[in-house]
Amino acid sequence: MSSVISDILSGYKKALDASQEVYEELYTERAKSAKEFYNLFFKDLIKDCSNFDDPAKQRQIKRQIEYIFKTDNIKFAAVDGTCYKNRLGDYMVFFGGSYGIRGNIHFEGEPPRVKYEKWSSEQDVSMVAYVPVPFAELNDVSEEQFILKPDEEKVNLLSIHTQIMQLAEIYLIYDLIKASSLRPKFVLWDQSMSGIMASNDIGTPNINLIGYRHAGRELNIADVLIAYSHPYNEYLGVPSAKKFRLYNYVLSKLTKKSPQRISELIKEANIEEDEFLRRIKILSLRDHPKLKPIISIEGDLIHLNQEYKDSWEYTVNLFDTFCMNLFKKKDQSALIYEANENGESRRRWMSPDDLRFMISVGIRAVIEEAWKHDILLIGIVKDSAARYLSRNFLGVMRYLGEYEFKDFLLPWTDRSFLEIIPLGDDNLNAPWTTIEYDSAFMTLHLEEINGPVRGVQGHVVNTERIVVKSLAQFYLNRSRKHPLMGHVIFIDRLLLPSFEKGRLSSVHIAEKELGDIYPVVFKSNNKENLIQDVTIYILKILTRNLYPEVIGYPDPLHKADWGAKTLYKKVKSMIDSSGVSLKTRPLNKTFRKIREEIRRI
């Protein structure tokens, strides 16, 4: 028997060694190709920010910081989350929470001083929810009554705990920036804002929450459509007049001024009248005869129904009230609501899609609040296999004639490609970053080398001109023969319309299926981008490199991660031990008692 096991293990080792050799050969080949690509073209897309130690550059950035934030004492916050689930007998327990760290950066003197603030006992630093769901009610959550799956496998597929965590993070940020006394001017979040918006943007037919009663009326399909059309910003041209969800653009224009001339909207959208009317037909709500239309058309004028004038505020209030009950009051019944099905009223648990809708409303509310108060909101992702820069962005830009380079076989991900660059350029020092590009390139891509530019499923495109993306490295030590490096991290930055209006460059994408799209692009490192300079400078200050496991990673996010992990350990222990109390409370009704109760009905 031992010889059989030995043969199995040795066979696996041989297969692993062979696979490793093939991988190393391919990686070496692609690394050489990446260095050549960098030297011939990509170096113009890299910004060496090590000159931030130069006094003249520091004075320029500090002037920009004081201009943006109106002070040289910047309040910052960092938010991270945690989640857990466990099966306890006939229950499934979901937990999701977030933890926040606050501090100040004092820009008097050099280097600037960073000080963390201690929270008072009255100030809640976390948003936590525990949701024990009996298996008897899990069909309400999963809506898979007639699909044969083990209960636990079904719950694993739902990932409700992950959604509760995302909602907790968003609500903590929203709560921070709404409170004037605590409001930070620089917020770090351990998530990709553009990724959160894209992954939770579900179709309206999947939202069971429609019909939920709040503040004296029911949430309806019109509220959902209006909520998804946000955020609005005139300076940035958000939402834009591209074909995908053209009605978002129409709603934003009508919210500002009603009525609007259809002929002018058609001209701005560069679209035929028949197609324009077809694409906004959803706003007539013809499939919902009990509701009044969102818009009405009289000749060349299009009007907004004034009943929906305060719809967005209503939906944001629903999000705020729901999250306050769930996370602050720890009331799990917030996840249960009355639903009308086949003429009968019944209690339902919120489905995963309902939670995604709440997340979608929350992230849009956070963005509009950040714009309102000139808050620099930054999303940081440590690990990702994304190729949006090296595949989507570069491919589309070359197709548009903005870039010119020949084909190269690059490493498999943006991170693996960029982490080769310091090995081939001895003059590059940390911090350094790529140029910023629009998050719409998460969806804009080429499927054929000669085009056209397409979105997901051909026509679906992320809302452009909201978030710009980049990758950066904050630790690079060349004191040894082989450089010591921190990982390249992924950065999402919310555009600041008050300061970037008139300064943003864009490229024009005109495709029959997409319409006209103008994503934000900083084409090369020669293009001035002062807000990115401010972002990298502040991140450089906050990256302390005190702990080897997070070299090159912002220290406040590491401390927020500590806090979230502490929450996780305490809550996990509490949840796991609660299984004992459930075992001491078996079903107290015998079959005889149940039968007698049924007979009395």
Q: Is 235 left (phi over 0), alpha (psi -120 to 50) or beta?
A: alpha
> Tens digit of pLDDT for each residue in 537-578?
999 999 988 888 889 999 999 999 999 999 899 888 888 887
Pairing of strands 126-134, 213-214: unpaired
The secondary structure of 283-349, three-state, reads HHCCCCCCCCCCEEEECCEEEECHHHCCHHHHHHHHHHHHHHHHHHCCCHHHHEEEEEECCEEEEEE
Residue position matching structure tokens 């993306």: 469
Residue position matching structure tokens 């809640």: 124
Q: How confident is the model at residue 583 (pLDDT cuts 50, 70, 90)?
A: low
Alpha carbon 319 to chain centroid distance?
17
Q: Which residues contact residue 431 at a Cβ distance below 8 angstroms, ignoring those fewer than 6 apart?
A: 49, 50, 52, 472, 473, 474, 536, 539, 540, 543
> Tens digit of pLDDT for each residue in 497-514?
999 988 899 999 999 999
Mean pLDDT, rounded, of the chain: 88
> Tens digit of pLDDT for each residue in 223-252?
999 999 999 999 999 999 999 999 999 999
CB 455 within 8 A of CB 440: no
Residue 545 is predicted with a pLDDT of 85
Identify the three-state secondary structure at position 458. Answer: strand
pLDDT at residue 464 above 90? yes
pLDDT at residue 331 above 60? yes
Tally the C-alpha atoms within 13 A of residue 587's C-alpha that lie toward its C-beta. 10
Q: How confident is the model at residue 431 (pLDDT cuts 50, 70, 90)?
A: very high
CB 516 within 8 A of CB 510: yes
* Lookup: tokens for 351: 């489905």
φ, ψ at 260 (rounded to 5°): -120, 155
pLDDT at residue 92 above 80? no
Residue 586 is predicted with a pLDDT of 54
pLDDT at residue 59 above 60? yes
* Lookup: tokens for 28: 């070496």
Residue 91 is predicted with a pLDDT of 72
Q: How confident is the model at residue 182 (pLDDT cuts 50, 70, 90)?
A: confident
What is the C-alpha to C-alpha distance for residues 269 and 281, in angstroms, rounded to an integer? Answer: 16
> Tens digit of pLDDT for each residue in 206-227?
898 998 899 999 999 999 999 9
What is the C-alpha to C-alpha distance for residues 345 and 76, in angstroms, rounded to an integer? Answer: 47
Mean pLDDT for the stretch of residues 439-466: 94
Query: Around Cβ 353, how many Cβ atoms within 10 Å?
Result: 17
Q: Is 545 left (phi over 0), alpha (psi -120 to 50) or beta?
A: left
Mean pLDDT for the stretch of residues 45-55: 91
Residue count (the chain): 601
Mean pLDDT for the stretch of residues 368-396: 95
CB 250 within 8 A of CB 265: yes
pLDDT at residue 293 above 90? yes
Q: How confident is the model at residue 23 (pLDDT cuts 50, 70, 90)?
A: confident
What is the C-alpha to C-alpha distance for residues 497 and 488, in angstroms, rounded to an integer? Answer: 27
CB 205 within 8 A of CB 371: no
* Lookup: tokens for 382: 């440590």
* Lookup: tokens for 190: 């351990």
Please, what sign has the CA dihedral across residues 555, 561, 564, 570? negative
> Tens digit of pLDDT for each residue in 514-545?
999 999 999 999 998 999 999 999 999 999 88
CB-count exposure of residue 18 (10 Å: 0-12, 13-18, 19+): exposed
Q: Which residues contact residue 580 at a Cβ distance below 8 angstroms, ignoring those fewer than 6 apart?
A: none
CB 316 within 8 A of CB 281: no
CB 106 within 8 A of CB 90: no
CB 515 within 8 A of CB 269: yes
CB 98 within 8 A of CB 169: yes
Residue 44 is predicted with a pLDDT of 97
CA torsion 149-150-152-158 (nearest 10°) is 0
Residue 454 is predicted with a pLDDT of 96
Pairing of strands 336-341, 344-349: antiparallel
Query: Around Cβ 203, how many Cβ atoms within 10 Å?
Result: 9
pLDDT, greater one: 363 or 127? 363
Strand partners, 470: 491
Q: How confident is the model at residue 8 (pLDDT cuts 50, 70, 90)?
A: confident
Nearest to 471 by CA among 557, 546, 535: 535
CB 98 within 8 A of CB 172: yes
